[in-house]
Amino acid sequence: MKSVEIIMLPVKDKQKAKEFYLKLGFQVIVEAPAAHGETWIQMGLPGSNTTISFAGFQGVICETDNIEKEIENLKNKGIEVGKIDDTSWGKFAWLKDLDGNSFCLHQK
């Protein structure tokens, strides 16, 4: 894994959350249609590579150069990883930590 790319924050109202974070100094990186008629909103602080997005659940997305190799390494350590979802935004594979927190690998 190279870096924490996106921290997903559970929110009730994405537009109200966006307005709040704009007041904090965040900028909109992406605002686009997403699955199930929802909107993907991703924001970041100027000069930072780590961003936040608003969702119905909590999660941390880490960037990797080789998702297959990363999954193999994790499985060798006894960590279960879900199937790879190949999307137009890259490859994603989700797992949960010991407390049920969502964690995702992302290969661009």
Q: Could you tell me the pTM of the whole model? A: 0.88
pLDDT per residue over 39-96, tens digit each?
999 999 999 999 999 998 899 999 999 999 999 999 999 999 999 999 888 999 999 9
Given this model, what pLDDT does residue 68 score? 98
What pLDDT is recorded for position 56? 87
Nearest to 68 by CA among 91, 96, 48, 50: 91
At a CB cut-off of 8 Å and minimum separation 6, what does 75 contact? 81
In the chain, which residue ranges form alpha helices assigned H by DSSP? Answer: 14-23, 67-76
Residue 76's pLDDT is 97
* 3-107 CATH: 3.10.180.10
Residue 89: what pLDDT? Answer: 86
Domain boundaries, the chain: 3-107
